[in-house]
Amino acid sequence: MIKRIKKILFFLILAAILITLAVTSFTVFFDQAIIARRDTIYRVPSSGKIVALTFDDGPSPDWTPKILDALKEENIKATFFMLGRHVEEYPDVARRVAEDGHEIGNHTYDHHVLIYYKTEELEKEIRDAQAAIYKATGITTKYFRPPKAWLTGNEKKQIRSMGYETILWSLNSKDWVTFHDKQITSYILRNIRPGDIILFHDSGGVFHTEGGNRKQTVKTILRLAGKLREKGYKFVTISELLNLQEKNGKP
């Protein structure tokens, strides 16, 4: 009887380990945004070589300033999707993002996965983030990016009714996994297309939305900027990308 119990426990532990490995591999190597793109903006097909860099989960007192320095060095304007909680903690950093001429988007207040949120809960996450961003920067956001990209169809409709466009991405740097900058750059260069939206992070790590190490992100910006310019690419914000879409007469 004892041997049987040990055997059952062994298989249960093994199954738990395999499930954990499968979930971890899925999260690290698969971009879940692919299955959530419907009724969102994740890239804007363009005849011109343009690309938008975006950063999630900040601001961070450690890494956002370094990323801003790298962007300034390369004369790039980007879009930062900020967490309201982090804006409240680091308003001076959020303010610098705005003062440097970058665009600011809404990434919820607390980075909770929003799928199956009640209507009032979803609205509160967005409104509270907007209030924090406005208090720190004076900016009213109009672009929203959900944590992990997970939203239901009804939630997408609700977000649009609040005056927001839901912005996902077409290329995921997976920089929070701390891949080497050469790996990240190589992946992007192999897959880049005009009108792509690229996802980076200026805060967060594998298990937390704050902290993390964005050293490779900073190095990637500097490396990628030169490589893409060699290919004839220009960098734009999300607003600029969508304005070009409207000028081209596309919905």
Contact 109, 145 (CB under 8 A): no
65/61 Cα distance (integer angstroms) = 7
Burial grade of 62 (CB within 10 A; 0-12, 13-18, 19 or more):
middle
Active site annotation includes 181 = no
The low-confidence residues of the chain, meaning pLDDT below 50, are 16, 18-27, 29-30, 250-251
Contact 34, 172 (CB under 8 A): no
Model confidence over 91-109: pLDDT tens digits?
A: 999 999 999 999 999 999 9
> What does each C-alpha distance from 141 to 61, 131, 208 come to in angstroms?
21, 10, 24
Q: Give the number of other Cβ atoms within 10 Å of residue 72's Cβ.
A: 13
Please pick, among 107, 196, 201, 202, the residue that the annotation labels catalytic.
Answer: 201
Q: Give the number of other Cβ atoms within 10 Å of residue 24's Cβ.
A: 11
224/243 Cα distance (integer angstroms) = 24
Predicted pLDDT at 200: 97
- With 0.85 as the threshold, say if the pTM is over it: yes
Active site annotation includes 102 = no
Please pick, among 56, 57, 181, 196, the residue that the annotation labels catalytic.
Answer: 56
Convert the chain into a string of H (helix), E (strand) and C (coil): CHHHHHHHHHHHHHHHHHHHHHHHHHHHHCCHHHHHCCCCECECCCCCCEEEEEEECCCCCCCHHHHHHHHHHCCCCCEEEECHHHHHHCHHHHHHHHHCCCEEEECCCCCCCCCCCCHHHHHHHHHHHHHHHHHHHCCCCCEECCHHHCCCHHHHHHHHHCCCEEECCCEECCHHHCCCHHHHHHHHHHHCCCCEEEEEECCCCCCCCCCCCCHHHHHHHHHHHHHHHHCCCEEECHHHHHHHHHHCCCC
Predicted pLDDT at 21: 40
